[in-house]
Chain A
Amino acid sequence: MSKVDLSVDLVGVKLKNPVVVASGTFGFGREYGQFYNLNELGGICCKGLTLHRREGNPPPRIAETPMGILNSVGLQNPGVDAFIQHELPELKKHDLAIIANISGNTPEEYGIMCEKLSAAGVDMIEVNISCPNVKAGGLAYGTKPELAAEVTKMAKSHSTVPVMVKLSPNVTDITEIARAVADAGADALSLINTLRGMRIDINTRRPILKMNTGGLSGPAVLPVAVRMVWEVACAVDLPILGMGGVAKGEDAAQLMLAGASAVAVGTACFADPYAPIKVRDGLSAIAAAQGLDKVSGLTGSVLPW
Chain B
Amino acid sequence: MPIEQICTIAEAVKLNAYAYSFTLEVGDMVTRHGLMAGQFLHIACGEGLLLRRPISVCMVQQEEPHDTARIVFEVRGEGTQWLAERQVGDKVNVLGPLGNGFAVAPNDRLLLVGGGIGVPPLLGQAAFTAKNATAVLGFRSADRAMLEEDYQDYCEAVYLCSDDGSLGRHGFVDAQLKDILEQDKNFTAVLACGPKPMLKNVAKVAARYGVPCQVSLEERMACGVGACLGCAVQMADGTMKHVCKDGPVFDAKEVDWNV
Seen from chain A, the residues whose Cβ lies within 8 Å of a Cβ on chain B are: 24-27, 30-32, 34-35, 47, 55-64, 67-69, 71, 73, 76, 208, 218-219, 267, 269-274
Known: A55-B240, A58-B232. Is A27-B226 also a contact (CB below 8 A)?
Answer: yes
A62–B220 alpha-carbon span in the complex (Å): 6
Given A25-B228, A61-B232, 11 more contacts at CB 8 Å?
A: A24-B229, A25-B223, A26-B227, A27-B226, A27-B229, A35-B2, A55-B238, A58-B259, A62-B231, A270-B222, A271-B44
**How many Cβ-Cβ contacts under 8 Å join chain A to chain B?**
97
Please tell me if the beta carbons of B50 and A59 are within 8 angstroms of each other in the complex: no
A270 touches B229 (CB 8 A): no
Can you show 10 pairs from A to B with CB atoms below 8 A apart? A26-B227, A27-B226, A58-B232, A60-B219, A62-B220, A62-B228, A63-B220, A64-B51, A270-B51, A271-B44
- B234:A24 contact, CB within 8 angstroms: no
Chain B: minimal CB distance from A76 (Å): 5
| Cβ of B206 to closest chain A Cβ, rounded Å | 24
Query: Which residues of chain B come closer than 8 Å to A63, judged between CB atoms?
Result: 220
Asked whether A31 and B223 contact (CB < 8 A) given A55-B239, A64-B49, A76-B240, the answer is yes
Q: Which of B4, B240, B259 contacts A273 (CB 8 A)?
A: B4
Give the residues in chain B near A76, CB-CB below 8 Å: 229, 232, 240
Contact across chains for B223 and A269 when beta carbons are under 8 A apart: yes
Q: Determine whether B203 belongs to the interface, using a CB cutoff of 8 Å to chain A.
A: no
Q: Which residues of B contact A27 (CB under 8 A)?
A: 226-229
Please tell me if the beta carbons of B4 and A35 are within 8 angstroms of each other in the complex.
yes
B232, A32: Cβ atoms closer than 8 Å: no
Residue pair A62, B233 in contact (C-beta under 8 Å): no
Interface positions, chain B 135-162, Cβ under 8 Å from A, are none
Residue among B1, B3, B223, B228 with the highest chain A CB neighbour number at 10 A: B228
B225 near A34 with CB under 8 A, answer: yes
Q: Which of B4, B44, B222, B225 contacts A71 (CB 8 A)?
A: B222
B206-259 contacts to A (CB < 8 Å): 219-234, 238-240, 245, 259
Inside 8 A of B224's CB, which chain A residues have their CB?
A: 270
Which residues of A have CB within 8 Å of B230? 61-62, 71, 73
Nearest chain B residue, comparing its CB with the CB of A27: B227
Q: What is the CB-to-nearest-CB distance from A220 to chain B, in angstroms, rounded to a whole number?
A: 9
B50 touches A218 (CB 8 A): yes
Measured CB to CB, the nearest residue on chain A to B49 is A64
User: Which chain A residue lies CB-closest to B243?
Assistant: A59
Supposing A62-B222, A271-B44 touch, asked if A32 and B227 sit within 8 A by C-beta, the answer is yes
Known: A35-B4, A55-B238, A59-B231. A219 touches B50 (CB 8 A): yes
Kindly list chain B residues whose C-beta atoms are within 8 Å of the C-beta of A271: 44, 50-52
Q: Which of B36-85 contact A (CB under 8 A)?
A: 44, 49-52
Given A55-B238, A68-B50: A31 touches B229 (CB 8 Å cut-off) = no
> In the complex, A62 Cα to B221 Cα: how many Å?
7
Considering the chains assembled together, what is the distance between the CA atoms of A67 and B46 in angstroms? 12
Q: Quick check: is B95 within 8 A (CB to CB) of the other chain?
A: yes
Asked whether, in the complex, the Cβ of B227 is within 8 Å of the Cβ of A31, the reply is yes
User: Which of these, A30, A31, A56, A61, contacts B220 with CB under 8 Å?
Assistant: A61
A47 to B231 CA separation, bound complex (whole angstroms): 16
Is B229 in contact with A56, judged by CB distance below 8 angstroms?
A: yes
Q: Are A273 and B225 in contact (CB under 8 A)?
A: yes
| B39 smallest CB distance to A (angstroms) | 15
Q: Please indicate which of the listed interface residues A47, A57, A64 has the most CB atoms of chain B within 10 Å of its own CB.
A: A64
State the CA gap A49–B224 with chains docked (Å).
21
A30 / chain B contacts, CB cutoff of 8 Å = 226
Chain B residues, Cβ within 8 Å of A35: 2-4
**Chain A residues with Cβ under 8 A from B220's Cβ?**
59-63, 208
The minimal Cβ–Cβ distance linking A267 to chain B, given in whole angstroms, is 7
Question: Given A55-B239, A60-B219, A208-B220, are A69 and B226 neighbors across the interface (CB < 8 Å)?
Answer: no
Contacts of B233 in A (CB 8 A): 59
Residues of B close to A267: CB separation below 8 A: 50, 222
Chain B, residue nearest A218 (CB): B50
Residue contact B50 to A64, C-beta cutoff 8 Å: yes
Q: Is the CB–CB distance between B225 and A25 below 8 Å? A: no
With contacts A55-B238, A273-B4, A274-B4 taken as known, whether A31 is within 8 angstroms of B51 at the C-beta atoms is: no
